[in-house]
């Protein structure tokens, strides 16, 4: 039971007299002798003063109209709020004959509202006075209470006779003083109050079950139905208490004592009228939710209080109408703020459905009030309620200055719970935990489930790491899959290399690859075997697999592990990159160079050579590596592979391997003829006795006619050990061959002259005497000649049809044409060579850069061997001429250069 005397009183309503809008400054006057009134969409009034049966209607603009409703008088009015329907009870004749009339205020009948239904209001056949009236807003129920304790229920369309039926719902001995319909979802209840009891009927059930709620009742106009904010409870105002009822039980009661004259509920307020003395009445407006009195005042001879247009209207018997207008919410809150009634202000704001911004401002002011009072715990609770509206820095600054770390921690926790914390807030909260050394709160914060994480995980990891809470930071990093931070802490702070390696091995390919590139050197330094094993798997067992060449720098200080890694790669993937093979070659050459054991060195040599022969290394890199380590077998192999025959010979020359020099000339001289000349020059420059090698070189030069004798003599002239005996045999052989060549040439000249003379004599004979053709057979088909036939001066004869079939020209003999063409081609070639040779010599002698001239002619293919189709396979005449020409040009060029 709540004692209202303990409730605070406020003046949340302003009282004013209603003024007449037509006559300015004059009080608005009501019709005299008002006996009943009600409100819905407008005020409806009735007067008993003149017994004229009129109903008065008052609009919001204070326009007062009336219409004749009954012949005698009107006793009760009920105006619906959702419909323009007015229900009245009155009398058209003397005696106890109450009539119920239903009026449609929107429709007119001769200027008056349309009366849609009339029926007598009596319970059964007994004439009884009506005490109260109630109508359901759905227009399907109407309840009429009588002074004999009866209640008549009309069910169906109350505006029509045909669609409704009437029955006696309740009977008793005590007059009915209050009726109220309650609708929740599809369940309809009717509360019935008498002077002695309170009942409730369930109308949505066919049998209309009844529940007796209390054994004391109330007087007329002392009951009401609250709105849905109070769960639509039935309010009964007794002399000692005000009771509230649910359909099945009595609810809370309030100790509002005094003789009650009326009870009215409107917009969360309960208005109670009490009798003070013979004329004055005390009206009190209660806020039951917030437990305070919103208004209390005395009035003279009140008839009734109605709520309409957002205000309370008080009707008095002297014809005046007063209005209680509620102050706006902000004004009421300011009144509460002045008295530091912040809790009440908050409750009021919530009941008035103030928006979140307005509520947040109240919480802030309340928090400020408590803060200045020194109640930091209470203040922080209010500030927490401002989260989302008030800038967090406003609160944080206060508690940082006050060094109230516990309160600050509570606020920051709430900020994170609502997912409104930024990185700075997370940093600050974690610093609070660490300063308080509150490990339990810290663990609770970081070990929240995934759905409850309200902070920036990366920021939290950084702060924990900086504060030295490495285990907490590692937990957070692993839980939220911040792989980089997990490894950074494990490897850089905790030095837990084995765990870091294990963690990387469990990551997906992309993360494992990137982290191995980042931490591979560190891991290789501390756990080389495990790191090597992981890298092998990373480059072979994943799909896609990593590029093994990119991990080579990790092994910078671990050549043994690097070699094992690379050998594994070329074994598993023979198509590994050239960088892998180059690096492995370098490692094998290093091992070979540093190995002292002969047998082991031979094995390492074989491994290096086999790698070179795999053709997977880069030629230039491999050659440089072999040269750096003076790996002879590899150098010579690569020279031969690259067709660098001169380098092979120079290598042997540098190492003074005379026999190898001659051997190189023999092996590669056919591909590069200048090797013999270079070998001769090399031996000629040697002061030691190289006669045997010089003789062997000269023999090959002589056999293949590679150098002119004069050039050979000039080359050997610089060697003090090369005497005439060294080249005697060479010169003798050369001169003998030259002499033999001269004899052969002279013999051919005689032969050609004789042939020429014979040909000239034949030509002369053909010109001066007749030619007799005595051929009897065709030279083409070898058949006897028959006319017509064709004869040539070369003594060849043909059938005409054979000649026409095989001859390429009418002027040439088909048999002699091939030989004639050979001769003509040879003549043309000799002419071209002679012209080209002369032109080349002129350019070469006149140019300052003879090498460029020769290079230009080489580029144009001038010195390429010309093979004529007329040459017989055994003939070497033209070829020999070509070779001699090229050799002379080269020698001449060398001399000029």
Top pLDDT among 793 and 153 is at 153
- Residue recorded with tokens 């040009």: 889
Contact at 8 Å (CB) between 507 and 515?
Answer: yes
pLDDT at 43: 65
Q: Is the pTM of this model over 0.75?
A: no
- How close are the terminal C-alpha atoms of the chain, in Å? 129
Contact at 8 Å (CB) between 206 and 224?
Answer: no
CATH placement of domain 1-30+258-327: 2.40.10.480
Q: pLDDT band at residue 306, thresholds of 50, 70 and 90?
A: confident
pLDDT at 99: 93
Task: Give the helix ranges, DSSP H, for 267-404.
Answer: 329-338, 342-351, 356-373, 376-384, 392-401
Q: State both tokens at 254.
A: 């309030």
Question: How many other β-carbons are positioned within 10 Å of the β-carbon of residue 109?
Answer: 12
Decide if pLDDT at 125 tops 90: no
Contact at 8 Å (CB) between 547 and 569?
Answer: no
Q: pLDDT band at residue 143, thresholds of 50, 70 and 90?
A: very high
- Residue recorded with tokens 């002074």: 147
Q: What is the pLDDT of residues 177-234, one digit of tens each?
A: 999 999 998 999 999 999 999 999 999 998 899 999 999 999 999 999 998 888 899 9
- Residue recorded with tokens 């590899």: 634
Contact at 8 Å (CB) between 573 and 540?
Answer: yes
| CA 100/CA 804 separation, integer angstroms | 144
Q: pLDDT band at residue 786, thresholds of 50, 70 and 90?
A: confident
pLDDT at 702: 65
Contact at 8 Å (CB) between 71 and 92?
Answer: yes
Contact at 8 Å (CB) between 797 and 785?
Answer: yes
Q: State both tokens at 630.
A: 């003076």
Q: pLDDT band at residue 887, thresholds of 50, 70 and 90?
A: very low
Q: State both tokens at 741.
A: 């060549």
Distances (CA, A) of 649 to 193, 655, 691, 715: 132, 10, 19, 18
Q: State both tokens at 625.
A: 């590596």
Contact at 8 Å (CB) between 360 and 389?
Answer: yes
Contact at 8 Å (CB) between 322 and 313?
Answer: yes
Distances (CA, A) of 331 to 10, 11, 22, 272, 326: 12, 11, 31, 24, 10
pLDDT at 148: 92
Element (H, E) at 582: helix 578-594
> Which strand ranges, in their side-by-side order, compose the sheet holding 151-156?
130-135, 141-146, 151-156, 164-170
Q: What is the pLDDT of residues 227-272, one digit of tens each?
A: 888 889 999 999 889 999 999 999 899 988 888 899 999 888 999 9
3 state SS of 497: helix
Distance of CA 673 to the CA centre of its chain: 69
Q: Burial of 72 by CB count in 10 Å (0-12 exposed, 13-18 middle, 19+ buried)?
A: middle
> Which strand ranges, in their side-by-side order, compose the sheet holding 302-308?
13-17, 321-326, 311-316, 302-308
3 state SS of 763: helix
Task: Give the helix ranges, DSSP H, for 402-480.
Answer: 405-417, 423-436, 439-446, 457-466, 470-479
The winner for highest mean pLDDT among 271-280, 418-427, 676-685 is 418-427
pLDDT at 215: 92
* Closest CA relative to residue 265, chosen from 246, 281, 285, 247: 285
Q: pLDDT band at residue 585, thresholds of 50, 70 and 90?
A: confident
* Closest CA relative to residue 891, chosen from 669, 629, 665, 713: 713
pLDDT at 858: 65
Contact at 8 Å (CB) between 710 and 891?
Answer: no
Q: Please state whether the peptide bond connecting residue 289 to the residue before it is cis, i.e. omega within 30 degrees of 0.
A: no
pLDDT exceeding 90 applies to what percent of the chain?
18
Decide if pLDDT at 653 tops 50: yes
| CA 185/CA 549 separation, integer angstroms | 76
Q: State both tokens at 235.
A: 């309010």
- Mean pLDDT (whole number) for 92-113: 90
Name the DSSP class of 35. Answer: E
Annotated domain spans of the chain: 1-30+258-327, 643-737, 776-810
Q: State both tokens at 178.
A: 């209050």
Decide if pLDDT at 711 tops 80: no
Q: What is the pLDDT of residues 367-423, one digit of tens each?
A: 889 988 889 899 999 999 899 888 999 998 888 875 788 888 888 888 888 888 888
Distances (CA, A) of 303 to 176, 271, 298, 323, 458: 20, 14, 13, 14, 73
Q: State both tokens at 341.
A: 């009634």
3-state secondary structure 663-719: HHHHHHCCCCCHHHHHHHHHHHHCCCCCHHHHHHHHHHHHHHCCCCHHHHHHHHCCC
Q: pLDDT band at residue 890, thresholds of 50, 70 and 90?
A: very low
Distance of CA 689 to the CA centre of its chain: 83
Contact at 8 Å (CB) between 324 and 312?
Answer: yes
CA angle 41/43/48 to nearest 5° reads 150
| CA 670/CA 615 separation, integer angstroms | 25
* Closest CA relative to residue 135, chosen from 108, 113, 156, 106: 156
Q: What is the pLDDT of residues 22-44, one digit of tens each?
A: 887 788 888 877 888 888 776 66
| CA 824/CA 847 separation, integer angstroms | 35
pLDDT at 451: 52
In the chain, % helix, strand, coil (3-state, to 5) comes to 45, 20, 30
Residue 69 main-chain phi, psi, to 5 deg: -100, -40
| CA 121/CA 146 separation, integer angstroms | 9
Q: Which of 372-386, 567-581, 772-786, 877-891 has the lowest mean pLDDT?
A: 877-891
Q: Which long-range contacts (CB under 8 A, 24 or more apart) does 548-554 make?
A: 548/573, 548/576, 548/577, 548/580, 549/576, 549/577, 549/579, 549/580, 549/583, 550/517, 551/516, 551/517, 551/520, 552/579, 552/580, 552/583, 553/521, 554/516, 554/517, 554/520, 554/521, 554/524
| CA 191/CA 168 separation, integer angstroms | 15
Q: What does the mean pLDDT of the chain come to?
A: 81
pLDDT at 689: 61
* Closest CA relative to residue 377, chosen from 347, 342, 402: 402
């Amino acid at each position: 039971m709540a004692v209202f005397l303990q409730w605070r009183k406020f003046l949340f309503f302003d009282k004013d007299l209603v003024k007449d809008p037509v006559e300015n400054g004059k009080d608005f006057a009501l019709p005299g002798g008002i006996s009943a009134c009600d409100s819905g969409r407008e005020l409806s009034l009735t007067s008993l003063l003149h017994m004229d049966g009129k109903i008065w209607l008052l609009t919001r603009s204070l326009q007062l109209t009336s219409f004749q409703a009954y012949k005698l008088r009107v006793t009760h009015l009920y105006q619906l709020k959702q419909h323009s329907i007015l229900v009245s009870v009155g009398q058209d004749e003397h005696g106890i004959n109450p009539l119920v009339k239903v009026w449609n205020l929107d429709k007119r009948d001769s200027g008056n509202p349309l009366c849609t239904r009339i029926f007598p209001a009596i319970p059964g056949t007994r004439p009884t006075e009506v005490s109260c009236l109630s109508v359901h807003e759905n227009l399907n129920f109407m309840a009429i209470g009588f002074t004999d304790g009866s209640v008549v229920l009309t069910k169906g369309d109350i505006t029509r006779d045909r669609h409704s039926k009437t029955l006696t719902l309740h009977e008793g001995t005590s007059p009915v003083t209050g009726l109220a319909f309650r609708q929740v979802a599809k369940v309809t209840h009717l509360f019935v109050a008498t002077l002695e009891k309170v009942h409730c009927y369930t109308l949505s059930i066919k049998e209309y079950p009844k529940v007796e709620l209390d054994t004391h009742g109330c007087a007329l106009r002392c009951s009401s139905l609250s709105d849905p904010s109070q769960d639509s409870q039935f309010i009964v105002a007794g002399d000692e208490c005000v009771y509230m009822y649910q359909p099945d039980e009595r609810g809370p009661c309030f100790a509002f004592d005094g003789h009650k004259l009326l009870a009215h509920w409107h917009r969360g307020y309960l208005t109670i009228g009490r009798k003070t003395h013979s004329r004055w009445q005390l009206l009190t407006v209660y806020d039951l939710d917030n437990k305070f009195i919103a208004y209390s005042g005395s009035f003279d001879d009140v008839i009734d209080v109605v709520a309409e247009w957002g205000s309370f209207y008080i009707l008095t018997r002297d014809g005046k109408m007063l209005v209680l207008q509620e102050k706006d919410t902000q004004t009421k809150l300011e009144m509460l703020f002045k008295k530091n009634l912040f809790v009440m202000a908050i409750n009021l704001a919530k009941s008035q459905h103030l928006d979140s911004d307005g509520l947040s401002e109240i919480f802030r002011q309340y928090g400020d009030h408590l803060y200045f009072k020194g109640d930091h715990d209470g203040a922080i609770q209010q500030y927490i309620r401002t989260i989302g509206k008030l800038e967090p820095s406003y609160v944080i600054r206060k508690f940082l200055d006050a060094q109230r770390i516990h309160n600050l921690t509570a606020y920051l926790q709430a900020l994170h719970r609502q997912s409104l914390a930024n990185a700075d807030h997370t940093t600050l909260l974690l610093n609070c935990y660490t300063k308080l050394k509150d490990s339990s709160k810290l663990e609770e914060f970081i070990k929240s489930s995934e759905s409850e994480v309200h902070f920036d995980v990366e920021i939290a990891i950084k702060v924990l790491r900086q504060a030295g809470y490495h285990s907490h930071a590692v937990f957070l990093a692993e839980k939220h899959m911040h792989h980089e931070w997990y490894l950074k802490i494990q490897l850089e702070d905790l030095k837990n290399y084995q765990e870091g390696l294990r963690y990387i091995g469990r990551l997906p390919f992309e993360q494992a690859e990137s982290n191995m590139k980042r931490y591979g050197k560190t891991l290789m330094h501390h756990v080389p075997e495990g790191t090597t094993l992981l890298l092998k798997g990373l480059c072979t067992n994943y799909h896609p697999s990593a590029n093994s060449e990119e991990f080579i720098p990790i092994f910078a200080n671990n050549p043994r592990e690097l070699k094992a890694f690379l050998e594994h790669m070329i074994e598993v993937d023979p198509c590994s990159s050239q960088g892998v093979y180059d690096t492995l070659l370098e490692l094998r050459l290093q091992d070979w160079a540093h190995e002292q054991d002969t047998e082991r060195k031979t094995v390492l040599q074989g491994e290096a050579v086999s790698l070179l022969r795999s053709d997977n290394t880069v030629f230039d890199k491999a050659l440089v590596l072999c040269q750096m380590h003076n790996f002879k077998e590899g150098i010579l192999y690569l020279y031969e592979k690259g067709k660098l025959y001169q380098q092979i010979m120079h290598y042997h020359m540098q190492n003074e391997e005379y026999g190898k020099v001659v051997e190189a000339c023999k092996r590669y001289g056919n591909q590069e003829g200048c090797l013999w000349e270079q070998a001769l020059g090399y031996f000629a420059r040697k002061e030691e006795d190289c006669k045997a090698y010089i003789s062997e070189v000269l023999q090959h030069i002589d056999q293949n006619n590679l150098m002119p004798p004069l050039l050979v003599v000039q080359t050997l002239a610089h060697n003090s050990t090369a005497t005439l005996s060294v080249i005697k045999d060479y010169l003798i052989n050369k001169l003998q061959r030259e002499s033999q060549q001269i004899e052969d040439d002279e013999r051919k000249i005689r032969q050609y002259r004789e042939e020429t003379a014979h040909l000239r004599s034949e030509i002369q004979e053909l010109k001066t005497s007749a030619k007799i053709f005595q051929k009897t057979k065709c030279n083409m088909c070898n058949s006897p000649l028959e006319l017509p036939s064709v004869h040539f001066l070369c003594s060849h004869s043909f059938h005409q049809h054979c000649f026409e079939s095989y001859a390429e020209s009418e002027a040439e003999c088909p048999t002699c044409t091939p030989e004639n063409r050979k001769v003509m081609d040879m003549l043309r070639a000799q002419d071209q060579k002679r012209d080209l040779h002369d032109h080349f010599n002129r350019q070469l002698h006149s140019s300052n850069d003879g090498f460029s001239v020769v290079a230009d002619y080489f580029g144009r293919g001038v010195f390429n061997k010309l093979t004529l189709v007329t040459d017989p396979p055994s003939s070497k005449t033209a070829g020999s001429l070509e070779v001699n020409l090229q050799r002379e040009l080269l020698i001449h060029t060398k001399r000029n250069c």
